[in-house]
Structure 1
Amino acid sequence: MALLHRAELRPSKLELLAGWLPGRQWFAGEAGAPVSRVAAYRFDDPAGEVGVETLLVRAGDGPVLQVPLTYRGAPLAGADEHLVGVIEHSVLGRRWAYDACGDPVYPPLLAAAVLADAGQAEEYFEVDGKREARPASMTLSGSRTGRPVPTGPVSADPGDGGVTVVRVGDVELAVVRRPVPADVPAAGGLAGAWPGQDEPVLLAYAR
């Protein structure tokens, strides 16, 4: 479960990405163009400390780009190269936003979604002491491979061909940065769809 806050963010997530995305090797779209949100999904951090959100966005009229992010209340040691930027959150205070592929919290959660169809987190707003469900902006479906969800050391590298590779234990996962409709590999995959994109796109897969 993800508990969200109705808060003001400075800069906004999309403003932050407008400056960060053009420097990525997998970027496609207009550099300097406004970034718009297409859809999003979240995973639950079992410890409840780190926000884990994947944004699907466009820069101008460019293609859909997949940007997994983590949000932390303090800098992540040794992860400066993965820092997207710092956000002032009107409820939570300063938050450090990272490319989730470089955050050790993310790969095990992605592995669970890809290999065991763990799904996305349910989202709630807290209003006047009561929780209100926030409807999901997209559907998400993983594979049920029967393989155990791995634990162990995690790592990441830029990959090639528009993917970023993350590893957890002995499992290697490819995060598709420019997702398009494609078959889910036999080894397992994660697909998603949203209004206006009825044919599921491949978001990540085991390899």
Structure 2
Amino acid sequence: MALLHRATLRPTKLDLLATWLPGRPWYQGSAGAAVVSRGAYRFDDPAGAVGVETMLVGAADGPVHHVPLTYRDAPLDGADDSLLGTTEHSALGTRWVYDGCADPVYVAALAHAVLTGAGQAEQYFEVDGRREVREPTMTVAVTGAGHADVAPVGVVRQVVDGDDTVIVTDSVELVVVRRPVPAEPAGPTLLGRWDGQPTSIPLAYTRLA
């Protein structure tokens, strides 16, 4: 389960994305255009230290982009090139926001979700000592799972950005689809559906190493 906080962020996640996205090779949109959210989902960090959220975003008149993010309370060693920036969280203080594809916590969570069929984490707030579930803004599902015997991801060896992002690890190769469109799943695949997208379409898939 993912614990959320009723808090403000300055700058907001969308502010950071509006600056960062135009420099990505897979982004289609005008520099300086406002970025809007279409939906989001989360994975759990088993250690409870890193926030793992994936957003579906884009310019109002452009395609939807699939953007995994991680939120940390300190810089991630060796990941300066993948830093979107920092934001001030009214409950948690300074948060370093990273492209999740370069963060081993996200990569391990994605591999686990896809290969075991675990899917997204339930989100909730703590309200007066009790849990209040937050309804998801999109749904995700997994097809072709059943590889729970694959070794957990230990090392991220390479991240290659193109039209999609390929993440090479010591046990599995992951492909994050950056501009999701309808397609037939091939192998273990994470599928998503959100408001305005009536059918589930591939968001990420695996290729066993």
Q: Is 1:167–2:171 an aligned residue pair?
A: no
SS of 2:119's partner is coil
Q: How far apart, CA to CA, are the structure 2 residues paired with 1:169 and 1:143?
A: 23
Match of 2:99 in 1: 99
Percent identical pairs in the alignment equals 60
Match of 1:191 in 2: 191
Q: Is 1:6–2:6 an aligned residue pair?
A: yes
Q: How far apart, CA to CA, are the structure 2 residues paired with 1:68 and 1:25?
A: 15
Aligned pairs for 1:11-160 (under 5 A) are 11-147=11-147, 148-151=149-152, 152-160=154-162
8 Å contact from structure 2 (residues 144, 189) kept in 1: no
> Structure 2 counterpart of 1:31, which letter?
A
Q: How far apart, CA to CA, are the structure 1 residues paired with 2:43 and 2:129?
A: 23
Deviation at 1:153, TM superposition (A): 1.6
Match of 1:177 in 2: 178
Q: How far apart, CA to CA, are the structure 2 residues paired with 1:38 and 1:19?
A: 18
User: Please, which runs of 5 or more residues in structure 2 have no aligned partner?
Assistant: none
Q: CA-to-partner distance for each residue in 1:139-178, whole Å, 9 max, x for gaps?
A: 1111343222432322332243x11111332210100000
Q: How far apart, CA to CA, are the structure 1 residues paired with 2:136 and 2:27?
A: 26
Q: How far apart, CA to CA, are the structure 1 residues paired with 2:188 and 2:144?
A: 8
Residue range with higher mean Cα deviation, 5-14 or 135-144: 135-144
SS of 2:104's partner is coil
> Structure 2 counterpart of 1:37, which letter?
S
Residue range with higher mean Cα deviation, 71-80 or 109-118: 109-118
Q: How far apart, CA to CA, are the structure 1 residues paired with 2:181 and 2:15?
A: 24
Q: Give the 3 Å change call, closer, same or farther, for CA 16–181 of structure 1 in structure 2.
A: same
SS of 1:158's partner is strand
8 Å contact from structure 2 (residues 26, 161) kept in 1: no
Task: Give me the CA root mean square deviation.
Answer: 1.3
Deviation at 1:89, TM superposition (A): 0.3
SS of 2:69's partner is strand
SS of 1:19's partner is helix
Q: How far apart, CA to CA, are the structure 2 residues paired with 1:40 and 1:70?
A: 13
Number of residue pairs aligned between Structure 1 and Structure 2: 205
- TM-score (ref. length: structure 2): 0.94
Q: How far apart, CA to CA, are the structure 2 residues paired with 1:66 and 1:134?
A: 21
Deviation at 1:36, TM superposition (A): 0.3
Q: How far apart, CA to CA, are the structure 1 residues paired with 2:33 and 2:82?
A: 22
> Structure 2 counterpart of 1:167, which letter?
V
Q: Give the 3 Å change call, closer, same or farther, for CA 118–33 of structure 1 in structure 2.
A: same
Q: How far apart, CA to CA, are the structure 1 residues paired with 2:44 and 2:82?
A: 20
8 Å contact from structure 1 (residues 58, 65) kept in 2: yes
Q: How far apart, CA to CA, are the structure 1 residues paired with 2:168 and 2:117?
A: 18
Q: How far apart, CA to CA, are the structure 1 residues paired with 2:151 and 2:101?
A: 16
